Amino acid sequence: MNKLVIITGASSGIGAATAQAFAAAAHPLLLLARRLEPMEALKLPSTLCRAVDVLDAESFQRAIDEAEAQFGPAEYLVNNAGVMMNAPALESNPTQWDSMIDINIKGVLTGIRLALSGMVKRGSGTIVNIGSIAGVKTFSNHAVYCGTKFAVHAISEAIREEVSSKNVRLITIAPGMVETDLVNHTTHDASRDGWWDYAKQIGGALKPTDIAEAIVWSCKLPQSVCVREMVICPTRQEP
């Protein structure tokens, strides 16, 4: 049997598409998100779905223990859970800053911490952190989101350096514009509508399946090959 894959934020968008892609490659799955029903509705084989907040380390660990007892050790973790709430700096909401910092940074760190120890002990494993083009360059009206994604890129690279000698890979996948519900978390109407308007101008954003294919491809390369960072955007996306 292929080895266990853990995916956070698996109820929709990139997370759900990645679950379907790994299932098609005959991997058992642990799917985690705050909403249980959409994950169960995927009806994927050899799959355990659990309603888990990535900031709740105890629930996260219990889910991993349950899945590993059923399917064996986790070989892959896809840290996908994230939120994007954009607005000009002077109009932004500190409560939304907290949500982005907590989920986009602390949630990623929680997943890494829980998965990494076993991978290092076994001398094999891959952690995929979903960054963003907003972690490579800045965008106006996205200051805090950019900050969280720059953090993901930095955290991923620093930890990769620490564990590379243990044959453990950290991969950062940095999508550009992708057609998901992520942008709809934004409550600032002009920022949200501007995103969708630009997507239409360039002929549409990427599909979640485009990113899922890149994730699976990078994971299925030989363990001796590490795609440290991959930026994936629509061809016509200028910034």
Rounded to an integer, what distance in angstroms lies between the CA atom of residue 102 and that of residue 55?
Answer: 7
- Do the Cβ atoms of 72 and 46 come closer than 8 Å? no
Sign of CA dihedral 140, 143, 145, 147: positive
**In 3D, which of 52, 33, 75 has the Cα closest to residue 167?**
75
Residue 35's CB is within 10 A of a number of other CB atoms, namely 12
Contact partners, residue 198, CB within 8 Å, separation at least 6: 177
Which residue among 145, 170, 174, 175 is the active-site one? 145
- Is residue 76 part of the annotated active site? The answer reads no
- Do the Cβ atoms of 54 and 110 come closer than 8 Å? yes
Supply 15's token pair: 């997370």
Catalytic residues: 145
